[in-house]
Amino acid sequence: MKAFTEYFWFNTKRHREYINITNDVARVVARSGVQEGFVLVSAMHITAGVFVNDAEDGLLADIDEWLEHLAPYRENYRHHRTGETNGDSHLKNLLVGHQVIVPITKGTLDLGPWQQIFYAEFDGQRRKRVVVKVLGE
């Protein structure tokens, strides 16, 4: 079995941002030479996430609104007593999840017809990374 790892770095312009990284992940898979296996895409920060969904602007706006409804920014999170102000970002990470595993078949990502891989930033404007680990034959 082969293992191949690369890292993506992000420093978003906005506090919350959703970035389609499907093509970037596909390039890593191609460089890996793996024909059959899996790729793990994992945010290495507890205020960011990775998810698979449709790359439709209205849906991404709906997702952002839904997350803000379930985990709104507010002043009185207990976490803020530590001096941080990103309690909502930690909760949004729990809702979206921090990683996905995508199958690789015949050397390419084996996604459904509308599926795309997104990096979700919930506490941006600072440098963060994602690990992309390809495993297989």
Instruction: Give residue limits of the domains in the chain.
Output: 2-73+86-136
Average pLDDT across the chain, whole number: 97
Give 71-83 as a DSSP string.
S---TT-GGGGGT
pTM beyond cutoff 0.75: yes
CATH topology for 2-73+86-136?
A: Jelly Rolls (2.60.120)
**Nearest one of 86, 78, 89 to 17, comparing CA atoms:** 89
Residue 94 token pair: 């729990």
Please write the tens of the pLDDT for every residue from 47-66: 999 999 999 999 999 999 99
Residue % of the chain over a pLDDT of 90:
100
Rounded to whole angstroms, the Cα distance separating 94 from 97 reads 5
Phi, psi torsion values for 38, nearest 5 degrees: -145, 155
Using alpha carbons only, how large is the chain's radius of gyration in Å? 16
